[in-house]
Structure formats: structure tokens, C-alpha cells
Amino acid sequence: MRVLGIDPGLRNLGWGLIDVDGSRLCHVANGTLHSEGDGLPTRLLSLFQQLSAILIHYAPQTSAVEQTFVNKDGAGTLKLGQARGIALLAPAQYGIEVGEYAPNTVKKTVVGVGHASKDQIAHMVRMQLPGAVLTGPDAADALAVAICHAHHAASRARLARALA
């Protein structure tokens, strides 16, 4: 199963792809999309087109997006939410299921601590995906989202088999 993890952002949208075979995880690719253009609609379109190109090129079977962290800056949170909308819409357009995870859930799954730093996340992503060259912190976060989704999807599958 190929999993696309997305760390949404209006300026920088991180993405990371892993292949999952049972409990084995294998790094495929990662990167950061940068919005282009002057107005918000143009920047959102830019992110959508770039993310769509990744979906077409790598053909993931499932995807996951980090949920929005609400902070004191309401305008900033709203803009992040709009970029997150693109991260949800693009995979859905291609019929790809999208999982959503809170930042603390991603950190706890990958690092073991719900309030891990970006450096700790990057370190644990490298440990779980040997040989992966991280293109930046947003890409590392996106790979962490993909790893989190892979673990949670495996748990859901085991539970469904047990209940059947």
C-alpha cells in the first residue's frame, strides 16, 4: 500500500510517500510545495496543481493530513485551514481515502511523545525510514503523518479481522 502524508501550509506544504508491506515501511519520496502567485486564490490553485501532479505521478492508494493546530492568530489559522482544504480536496478528487490526525497523535505515534520537537520528529522518521533523505522539516512532518496513518490503518485492519 502506498501512503501519502501531507503537512498542510499555505506557504510550504510538506508531502511524503511511503510504501507499506505488513509492518515494513519504505521511503518513496518527499518534498515541500511552495505556493506561487500574488493573491490567495492563485496561491491555493498553485498548491492544488502541484499536489495533483504528485498524486498522478506516484499514485498513492491512501493519504493522510495533519489536522489544523488552532493558535492565537485567528487569521493565520483560517489561512492554514484553507491550505488544509486543498490537502483534503486533491486526493479526494482522485478517489483516494483521506485520514486525519491531530498533531499530538502523529507525534505520539512516531516519537512516543505527544509534544515532540521538529528535530525529534525528523530523527525518528529517519530511524523508521532508513536511507530517507529529508528535504526539510515540512517534508519530515508529512512523512510522520504517513507513518502514523500506516500504523493506525494496520490497527484498524487487525480489529476488523478480529471482529469478523
* Percent above pLDDT 90 for the chain: 79
Residue-level pLDDT at 75: 78
74-93 and 40-58 are packed helices; what angle lies between their axes, rounded to 10 degrees?
A: 40
Question: Which range is least confidently modeled, 9-13, 98-102, 152-156?
Answer: 152-156
pLDDT, greater one: 68 or 13: 13
pLDDT(157) > 60: no
Residue-level pLDDT at 154: 62
pLDDT digits (tens, 9 = 90+) for 77-125: 888 889 999 999 999 999 999 999 999 999 999 999 888 999 999 999 9
Annotated binding site for Mg(2+): 7, 66, 138
Mean pLDDT score, 43-63 = 97
CATH of the domain at 85: 3.30.420.10
* Residues designated catalytic: 7, 66, 138
pLDDT, greater one: 67 or 54: 54
- Cell representation of residue 77: 489559522
Q: What is the mean pLDDT of the chain?
A: 92
Our count of domains for the chain comes to 1
pLDDT, greater one: 79 or 45: 45
**In contact, 107 and 144? CB cutoff 8 Å:** yes
Contacts of residues 35-42 at CB distance under 8 Å and 24 or more positions apart, as own/partner, are 35/10, 35/11, 35/83, 40/79, 40/82
Mean pLDDT score, 129-152 = 96
pTM of the model: 0.92
Annotated binding site: 7, 66, 138
Domain of 94 in residue numbering reads as 2-163
C-alpha closest to that of 127 among 112, 149, 115, 105: 112
Q: Given pLDDT bands bounded at 50, 70 and 90, which one contains residue 156?
A: low
Mean pLDDT score, 142-154 = 92
